[in-house]
Structure 1
Amino acid sequence: RTGVVTSSADSLQIRMFGRGAHGSMPEASIDPVVMAASTVMRLQTIVSREVGPTDSAVVTIGVLQAGTKENVIPDDAIIKLNVRTFDKGVRKHVLAAIERIVNAEAAAAGAPKPPEITPLDRYSLVTNDVDATEKVVDAFRQNFPDDSVEQTKPTMASEDFGCFGAEWHAPAVYWFFGGDDPKVYAKAKKQGTISSLPTNHNPRFAPVIHPTLETGVKALVVAAHAWLAS
């Protein structure tokens, strides 16, 4: 597809500070576990209440860590989250909302000091150049069966590939190729259950070696030849 292919991604670590105490004396603590739990719940409202229904954003909390013993209230709690967006304005708003909510929840809990918000990873939008994409697609259609070349929709997945085009202002083309057993994929497509097939990061993801490997290699060779031949 031309235009935006994958979303931008921002990963953050948030450290929230409390005051530890024994589990039998919660009144002596400022509980960072409760503070973090409230923060996680409040963060869910960013997409549902602050992002317009025609825009897209994802806020995923993948890590919530606190304490080492069930009867000890710890001094701090760690939240790690990931943000996906397609629009620069939406991205800016979501990141600002996260900072606002995190600081407000800490203040509401009486935290002894403000939270630490640390950026982890950041990936740019992957945007396919129109002319370059059309050239590659034409080459694919000449070398693969018609039903093997499909136009995809934008996906909330993210790739560091987007950084190359953004940094160097160079035309770029990014494509996907499948790795499922063709028979399994065809059955899932017929039943409308393609989303149930294991994909990247799923522990059950196990692409078949053949013809996946041959398809991937051929696609790279075909794309390279389309440019080098001219």
Structure 2
Amino acid sequence: MSTAPSTAATAHTLAADHDHPAVLALYEELHRHPELSHAEHTTAARVAKELRALGVEVTENVGGTGVVGVLENGPGRTVLARADMDALPVQEATGLAYASRVDGLMHACGHDMHTAMLIGAAQALARGRQHWSGTVLFVFQPAEETGEGALAMRDDGLLKRFPCPDVLLAQHVSAGPAGLVAHVEGPVLAASTSLDVVINGRGGHGSRPDTTIDPIVIGAAVVGRVQSIVAREIAPRQSAVVTVGRFHSGTANNVIPATAELGLSVRSASGELQDQIVTAIRRIVTGECAAAGTLAEPEIRIVKSMPATVNDPRTARRIAQTHREMFGAARIIDPGAAMGSEDFSELAVRPDGTSIPYHYWFLPSTLAPVWDAAPGTSLEEKFAQVPSAHSPHFAPDPAVLGQGVAAMTGAVLTELDQRT
């Protein structure tokens, strides 16, 4: 008596049929030619060309430069698989043969690898239609780094113009020993908020500070005081980070400037905690300005905000189990929630405001020689010593490309197999 192959076995069969040399070449090409958020024109055009060659129905310019591919293959569930496409304003220092040829721009977060992996998964699924039934949406998203791309695609009718998905999937390369797959149930990435603050003082000569209201002194007090929010206003069991990443003021050593500008980043595990921290920042900035006697109110503006990424536990368990069968139980880890942020979850909000389940996992990708040479003995110690995302030295192991193709193929098949 014959039995049907497992989802993991089918995924291995399909993934083995993708054109790995072409996917590798695509990755290297994208890495050489990075494009910033909202400017992913060449990348998007190449993605659309690759999808059309597979017989996938393609729509371009969704939410700006976004690309959506629809692969319908009979009745069943609809699964959305997403990759991000944008690069960062970082000067590459990897020394790779295929390093960025664009001065000051680099794929320092692995989005080029995500894009190539999803093209590889599309190849595997398109060539193996006889093994599955349902609909797959291949979503190539712009502007993840600015936190605007997912919402732009959603506002442009992603969940109205195309088949509404039953589940959403995404993966991201990261620092860590290549070959592992990191799955987390529940909260996996933090909510984040970026704020711009302008302190309005009164400028004057450096020799006469008594005639001024020094915004640098006020700003310095704000920098120190906001660090007390997490230490004294947030419960120890909760995770949060407040960072002042920018402080600009003045143009000359002997001039007290009229204004100071600060840029702050807030990260925590929930929207409620974010609101609490932002409220505290407003209170501190306003209070310090009042204490210094400023003549004008400070300007406090939220410039970017992303919700927390919270994996659906049931979906996470299903996909992690498939990956255990595909890659071996020893390669599946649960690192817990991270304080990085993503806008992927914005794609999961239906027009009526309800949420679609989703799962977002990581593919550690540090080259073995780099990982082995890193100081430390534990995973955590080494992790802190190797280049991570947004570093000019971030260089994922190209061997992870094939693993990513297989991981996404297996995840899509797992979700297509579920009963709705």
Structure 1 residue 212: deviation in Å? 1.9
Specify the alignment match of 2:360 in structure 1: 174
Q: Is the 8 A contact 2:203 2:258 kept in 1?
A: yes
Structure 1 residue 184: deviation in Å? 4.0
The CA distance in 2 between the partners of 1:90 and 1:216, in whole Å, is 34
Deviations 1:23-61 (CA, angstroms, capped at 9, x unpaired): 222222111111111111111111111112112111000
Deviations 1:54-110 (CA, angstroms, capped at 9, x unpaired): 121110000001112222211111110111111344322211110100000001111
Specify the alignment match of 1:196 in structure 2: 385
Aligned-partner residue type, residue 27 of structure 1: D
After superposition, the CA RMSD in angstroms is 1.9
Specify the alignment match of 1:67 in structure 2: 250
Q: Is the 8 A contact 2:193 2:265 kept in 1?
A: yes
Aligned-partner residue type, residue 205 of structure 1: F
Relative to structure 1, is the Cα distance of residues 190 and 22 closer, same or farther in structure 2, using a 3 angstrom cutoff? closer
Aligned-partner residue type, residue 9 of structure 1: S
The CA distance in 1 between the partners of 2:240 and 2:376, in whole Å, is 29
Structure 1 residue 19: deviation in Å? 0.8
Q: Is the 8 A contact 2:271 2:308 kept in 1?
A: no
SS in 2 for 1:179: strand
Aligned-partner residue type, residue 225 of structure 1: L
Specify the alignment match of 1:217 in structure 2: 405
Identify which of 205, 209, 213 aligns with 1:30: 213
Structure 1 residue 189: deviation in Å? 9.2
The CA distance in 2 between the partners of 1:142 and 1:72, in whole Å, is 66
Structure 1 residue 183: deviation in Å? 4.7
SS in 1 for 2:363: coil
Relative to structure 1, is the Cα distance of residues 203 and 21 closer, same or farther in structure 2, using a 3 angstrom cutoff? same
Contiguous gaps of at least 5 residues in structure 2: 1-183
The CA distance in 2 between the partners of 1:116 and 1:174, in whole Å, is 36
Structure 1 residue 198: deviation in Å? 1.7
The CA distance in 2 between the partners of 1:159 and 1:87, in whole Å, is 13
- Taking structure 2 as the reference length, what is the TM-score of the superposition? 0.52
Relative to structure 1, is the Cα distance of residues 189 and 218 closer, same or farther in structure 2, using a 3 angstrom cutoff? farther
Counterparts of residues 9-28 of structure 1 (less than 5 Å)? 9-28=192-211
The CA distance in 2 between the partners of 1:229 and 1:93, in whole Å, is 42
- Taking structure 1 as the reference length, what is the TM-score of the superposition? 0.92
SS in 2 for 1:127: strand
SS in 2 for 1:147: helix
Structure 1 residue 208: deviation in Å? 2.2
Percent same amino acid among aligned pairs? 35
The CA distance in 1 between the partners of 2:234 and 2:343, in whole Å, is 25
Relative to structure 1, is the Cα distance of residues 170 and 189 closer, same or farther in structure 2, using a 3 angstrom cutoff? farther
Bigger Cα displacement from structure 2, 196-205 vs 126-135 = 196-205
The CA distance in 1 between the partners of 2:354 and 2:245, in whole Å, is 32
Structure 1 residue 188: deviation in Å? 5.1
The CA distance in 2 between the partners of 1:52 and 1:96, in whole Å, is 16
The CA distance in 1 between the partners of 2:345 and 2:190, in whole Å, is 9
Relative to structure 1, is the Cα distance of residues 190 and 34 closer, same or farther in structure 2, using a 3 angstrom cutoff? closer
The CA distance in 1 between the partners of 2:339 and 2:284, in whole Å, is 23
Deviations 1:110-154 (CA, angstroms, capped at 9, x unpaired): 111111111011111111112211221122122113222212201
Counterparts of residues 1-230 of structure 1 (less than 5 Å)? 1-166=184-349, 169-185=355-371, 191-192=377-378, 193-194=381-382, 195-209=384-398, 211-229=399-417
Aligned-partner residue type, residue 199 of structure 1: S
The CA distance in 2 between the partners of 1:78 and 1:219, in whole Å, is 44
SS in 2 for 1:176: strand
The CA distance in 2 between the partners of 1:23 and 1:128, in whole Å, is 54
Structure 1 residue 187: deviation in Å? 6.3
The CA distance in 1 between the partners of 2:253 and 2:402, in whole Å, is 52
Relative to structure 1, is the Cα distance of residues 71 and 127 closer, same or farther in structure 2, using a 3 angstrom cutoff? same
SS in 1 for 2:284: helix
Structure 1 residue 168: deviation in Å? 5.3
SS in 2 for 1:175: strand
The CA distance in 2 between the partners of 1:18 and 1:100, in whole Å, is 18
Q: Is the 8 A contact 2:195 2:300 kept in 1?
A: yes
